[in-house]
Amino acid sequence: MESIFTIKTRDSSGGRARTGYVDLPHGRVETPVFMPVGTNATVKAVSKESLEELGFEIILANTYHLFLRPGHELIRQAGGLHGFTGWKRNFLTDSGGFQVFSLSKLRKITEEGVSFRSHHDGSKRFLSPEDAVDVQTALASDVFMQLDICAPWGADEKEAADAARLTKTWAKRSKERWLATRGDFRGNLFGIVQGNFYKDLRVRSAEDIMELDLPGIAIGGLSVGEPFEVFAEFLDHTAALLPEGKPRYVMGIGTPEYIIEAVANGIDMFDCVFPTRVARNGLLFTADGPIQIKNARFERDFLPPDPTCSCRVCRDHSRAYLRHLFKQDEILWSMLASYHNLAFLHDLVKKIRYSIEDGSFDSFRRSFLARYSAKTA
């Protein structure tokens, strides 16, 4: 399979951290990279102009939600996600599998795929591995994800093994459909390693996915409710199994601690709804740890949200004003808070890249986490 990934710099201290880039149909993406999540083809409360201003080169959209509404055929007619939304840079779409399993109470999994009821109206739906590829083809995604099964935290070994086995089978079928329908569009299919919290299953799943030689590999089934120490242990174990020459993607992480841990383990891509979701609910990232803007001590605090941040929210607004917006349930609060949290993570990842390139990642990691973890307001 033609390579889409180039490694630029490796951690000079001997660790796994690295910088590089992924070449995709709508432009080159520098790695490591945090990808904002736009579930319904929009990052909540953040315009595409703001995303461009911040410098994001790739965002996510959700196959499950777009499959249900407005429907992938409508989006195909609009010219795919890029024509539908006006976003000119890259889209990664997940397969919809996680949402099917987490949002749908009534579902049935078979070798063929998954039957479920829409969370909108209860209508019966079916999604096969081939369907997931077809939907993402209609969306004209730059990165497709295979349909997989994510076993929950606490699953027994049989459930985890069954999920990994079906994920393997579905990965093969996804690749066959992707190659058969690829045409002129150069979207890239990533496989997903599962295995839950059983190391032997992780080894077997990684071997199965690597055998398919897909353009990229994701680590699934982490950050699903397990303690951070368990996450770190299984991330370390799984990342060590993956090939050097392909982009590595950990799904569903979006806090500074998790991002830095992922980079230290050689992960190149990560995403999460967390930064914008918690922003809407009053939490702001700062270099000194997250703050809850509703706290009374910010009522007359005229400092910027994060005095070390150069984003336009921190340049133009005080904590007191932002608290006022939050307390009054103003729409502008969600817009400004979401912008700031994304700016904070984008800047963090940029600093991480610089630290790897100049050989100071280990010291940057220690100093950042020492300050960030010192207090929470």
**Residue 86: what residue type?**
G
Return d(Cα 263, Cα 33) in angstroms, integer.
9
**What are the Cα distances from residue 143, in Å, to 89, 94, 166?**
12, 8, 21
The residue assigned the tokens 């079906």 is: 166
Return d(Cα 339, Cα 355) in angstroms, integer.
24
| 8 Å CB contact between 193 and 202 | yes
Q: How many CB atoms lie within 10 A of CB 54?
A: 17
Q: How many CB atoms lie within 10 A of CB 161?
A: 20
Q: What's phi and psi for 17, nearest 5 deg?
A: -55, 145
Residue 156 annotated to the active site: no
Residue 200 annotated to the active site: no
Q: Using the 8-state DSSP alphabet, how is residue 151 labeled?
A: P
Q: Strand pairing of 216-219 and 18-24? A: unpaired
Of 148, 268, 271, 306, catalytic: 271
Structure tokens, 313: 């929210």
Of 94, 142, 148, 347, catalytic: 94
| 8 Å CB contact between 365 and 264 | yes
User: CB under 8 Å, gap of 24 or more: what pairs does 24-28 form?
Assistant: 24/58, 24/90, 24/142, 24/143, 24/188, 25/90, 25/142, 25/185, 25/186, 25/187, 26/82, 26/88, 26/89, 26/90, 26/91, 26/142, 27/57, 27/89, 27/90, 28/57
Cα angle 168-31-27, degrees, rounded to a multiple of 5: 90
**Cβ-proximal residues to 253 (8 Å cutoff; 6+ apart), any chain:** 222, 223, 259, 262, 270, 271, 272
The residues annotated with a catalytic role in the active site are 94, 271
